[in-house]
Structure 1
Amino acid sequence: MRNPRIYEPQPLSQGQTLALSEDGANHVGRVLRMQPGQVLRLFNGDGNDYHATITEAGKKQVQVTITGAEALANESPLRIHLGQVISRGDRMEFVIQKAVELGVSEITPLFSERCGVKLQGERLDKKVGQWQKVAISACEQCGRATVPVINEVAMLSDWVAAPFDGHSLTLSPYAKGGIASLAKAGGARLLIGPEGGFSDDEVAIARQAGFTDVLLGPRVLRTETAALAAISALQLTLGDLG
């Protein structure tokens, strides 16, 4: 059985004895029902996995001692920043989860003219926090020790206007070239629209900001499918998918 892998949002170092956070203790003590002497792995987003042994275990508090540290080298050489217009229901969580598994470095949720989600204020802040937890959970599952940041929600026009070092791409069924034709680069910024697509004004804004239209294939894909297919193609062409 594989040792459980738990996110622990605090500084970690070899030889340290610490109490796990509330979420970590709940998962280890209540869900997994682990006992003193059992081992697990911790990570805090600094690029390392920390091997730990449980010294005390209860339903409300779990204490561990870190016995070793291991630097992981499973981050993609391609830095992908996904700009995803917010979608309804659990589709946004699905995209974030799978995008993290595929190796994106950063995700910015976007509002656009045809975005079907109308969130603001405290509800929006809570949703961003929830999306960050989805990203952390995906890292626990896929073995990444660097947690992608879920940025605050931005307007599409503001996001495309920000400077970026690398390819700036959006998908279009009318594009002449595909992702396989892209030159080598260290970064790629990917703009994915809502279910209703971009307006003509938004297409123009993206092009004026230097975004290149790329053709993904002959079929029309849903927004969540398009994001994941494009990320996979980028990783296959410029990243670390074989």
Structure 2
Amino acid sequence: MSSLFLRDDLAAVPHGVGDVVRLAGDEARHAVTVNRMRVGEHTSIGDGQGLVVTGVVTRVEPRELELAVETAVMHPQPAPSLVLVQALAKGDRDELAVQTATELGVSAVVPWQAERSVSRWSGPKVAKGVERWSSIVREAAKQSIRPFVPVVSEPADLAGLRALAAANRMLVLEPTATDRLSEVSFTDGSDVPVLLVVGPEGGISPRELEALAAAGAQAVRLGPEVLRTSSAGPAALAVINAALGRW
């Protein structure tokens, strides 16, 4: 099984053992022409919200594929959920962070217009940016065969992050922090979502750090190295996944 293919309305069509699930359009074209799926091979189709059916391919056309269902599983959403709050960054560094974070299991992504973000989303760029990141997480979820496609929210400002910090457990990656992420406990059994905040190329400003700390966020550091915005979040997520026993 090389990939997972998505049909958003999967739950609304017959998908039990023995049923035949049809994949059409661009998703089927990708399965047939890019992944080279052939009759007799096994693969999976999901709805991006936890439901995944697996079975054998029974028919292949240029823009259509049919799957005879052998198993149908509704996966529970992992708890606590992990959320990446990623500052906008120049080039494709923020996109690389979002892609890898999806592969590492985040449930949601929050774009953050930080004070020191070189990249700025305004006007039509907001919808375009959210759409672009949504496409990235969708493709990354398929590649990593994840039952859930993360939700990309509208961009948040500092006030929005303060509100999130008050309602969730927020960890802010900051190289000068005293607390080490590897020493943070995740064994209290709490299902409160964990939000991981990653700053832009120039780092998180003192004003932002102070405001988030006042709202209840905890600043944490990784190692002695200062990682790029594209790699800091994924590195931290690896540490958290290990601490939660998911790895």
Pair in the same fold by TM > 0.5 = yes
What's the Cα RMSD here? 2.4
Report the alpha carbon displacement of residue 41 of structure 1 after superposing the two structures with TM.
0.9
* Alpha-carbon distance change, 59 to 165 in structure 1, aligned in 2, over 3 angstroms: same
Task: Kindly indicate whether residue 108 of structure 2 is the aligned counterpart of residue 106 of structure 1.
Answer: yes
TM-score by length of 1: 0.86
**Alignment-mate amino acid for residue 5 of structure 1:** L
Describe how 1:41-120 pairs up with structure 2 within 5 A: 41-72=44-75, 76-120=78-122
Task: Name the CA shift for 1:61/1:174 in 2 (closer, same or farther; >3 Å).
Answer: closer
In structure 2, the residue matched to 1:224 is 230
Change (3 A) 1:165 1:201: closer
- CA distance in structure 2 between the aligned counterparts of 1:20 and 1:221, rounded to whole angstroms: 41
1:47-75 deviation line (CA, Å, top 9, x unaligned): 232024434322233344434313447x6
Quick one: which amino acid aligns to residue 182 of structure 1? V
Query: What is the rounded CA distance, in whole Å, between the counterparts of 2:185 and 2:57 in structure 1?
Result: 49
Residue aligned with 2:90, SS: coil
1:37 is displaced (CA, Å) by 4.1
- 1:214 paired with 2:216, answer no
Q: Any conservation in 1 of the 2:6–2:45 contact (CA below 8 Å)?
A: yes
In the alignment, the residues of structure 2 paired with residue 117 and residue 78 of structure 1 have an alpha-carbon distance, to the nearest angstrom, of 31
Cα separation, 1, equivalents of 2:114 and 2:3: 40
Using the TM superposition, give the Cα deviation of residue 43 of structure 1 relative to its aligned residue in structure 2, in angstroms. Answer: 0.9
- Please list, as runs of the form range in 1=range in 2, the aligned pairs for 1:149-228 lying within 5 A after superposition: 149-162=151-164, 166-184=168-186, 185-186=190-191, 187-228=193-234
2-structure distance, mates of 1:123, 1:129: 10
One-letter identity of the residue aligned with 1:8: R
| Residue 19 (1) aligns with residue 22 (2) | yes
CA contact 1:76–1:240 (8 Å) conserved in 2: no
Q: Counterparts of 2:2 and 2:71 in 1: how far apart (Å)?
A: 14
- In structure 1, the partner of 2:147 is 145
Cα shift readout 1:146-172 (whole Å, capped 9, x = no counterpart) = 221111212133123235555311123
C-alpha distance in 2, partners of 1:172/1:118?
22
- State, as a whole percentage, how many aligned pairs show the same letter: 29
Deviation at 1:132, TM superposition (A): 1.7
Aligned letter for 2:48? Answer: G
Q: Is the 8 A contact 1:77 1:240 kept in 2?
A: no
The answer to whether the 8 A contact 2:89-2:200 is kept is yes
Name the TM-score, length of structure 2 as normaliser.
0.84
